Amino acid sequence: MDLNFSEDEIQRYARHILLREIGGSGQARIKAARVLIVGAGGLGSPLALYLAAAGVGVIGLVDADVLELSNLQRQIAHSTEAVGTPKVASAAAAMRRINPLVEIHTHDMRLDAANVSALIADYDIICDGTDNFPTRFMLADACVAGRRTLISAAVLRFEGQLSTFKPHADPAGPCYRCLYPEPPPEGLVPSCSEAGVLGAVTGVMGTLQATEVLKEITVIGASLSGWLLLWDALGAEFRKIRLRKDPACPVCGSL
Ligand SMILES: [Zn+2]
């Protein structure tokens, strides 16, 4: 591991390096990591900002959307001036303002079955910050097939959930399909654009997601593989429930 940090890096990451669990070797792991953020929205904003600030060496951002005024209530990587411009460009500019040392790859495109495998192959850890079930399921399946760690968060109204899926590295750990075998019938589960979401709830969940990314990179603490973290903001309650691998899962059962 390259521990050759510049004076700028030593000062910039001093509060990480002070942590016994991270130190110089953990910061070197962070610098060597490649993380893909799918969705530059409510979850993707704190992910992008904290991972850039933390010094993740290469960060990819995927989103095909153009910034709308209604996004700004929660998508804090963006600014009013950027309305009408691609979200990946706006988020990348905010990340570079925080940390010009990180390499940012913008993918202004919609993920589909034809491009997902090649895209995730370039990264170690994939963050799902999308807002629709077809993309979530496609990304989750591609991560199992491509043996990539998936850290997946979701929000709606005043609630959030978070888990890590890495059945390739944790044989007892489930994949997304062990938890949700099939997408819900269209229209059954409303989206944030239909049901609303408190902006700060997306910020908390995206920040928890960024924390789990940094834990996976530095291999510290308890992984959320095999666990689902649930947060009810109105009740101010967190719960952590055990997830079991489905031995008959068509996606990860053969791993
Ligand atoms: Zn599975």
For the stretch 146-203, pLDDT in tens is 999 999 999 999 999 999 999 999 999 999 999 998 888 887 788 888 889 999 999 9
Cα-atom radius of gyration of the chain, to the nearest Å?
Answer: 18
For the stretch 21-72, pLDDT in tens is 999 999 999 999 999 999 999 999 999 999 999 999 999 999 999 999 999 9
Tell me how far the alpha carbon of residue 253 lies from the centroid of ligand 1, in angstroms: 6
Task: Specify the long-range contacts of residues 228-232, CB closer than 8 Å, at least 24 apart.
Answer: 228/161, 228/162, 228/163, 228/179, 229/161, 229/162, 229/163, 230/159, 230/160, 230/161, 231/159, 231/160, 231/161, 231/162, 231/201, 231/204, 231/205, 232/158, 232/159
Which residues place a Cβ less than 5 A from the ion ligand 1?
175, 177-178, 249, 251-252
Tell me how far the alpha carbon of residue 120 lies from the centroid of ligand 1, in angstroms: 19
Tell me how far the alpha carbon of residue 12 lies from the centroid of ligand 1, in angstroms: 40
Tell me how far the alpha carbon of residue 34 lies from the centroid of ligand 1, in angstroms: 24
Tell me how far the alpha carbon of residue 244 lies from the centroid of ligand 1, in angstroms: 9
Tell me how far the alpha carbon of residue 225 lies from the centroid of ligand 1, in angstroms: 12
**Model pTM?**
0.96
- Is residue 140 within 8 A of residue 167, CB to CB? The reply is no
- Strand order from edge to edge, sheet including 58-62: 103-107, 58-62, 34-38, 125-128, 149-156, 159-165, 227-232, 237-242
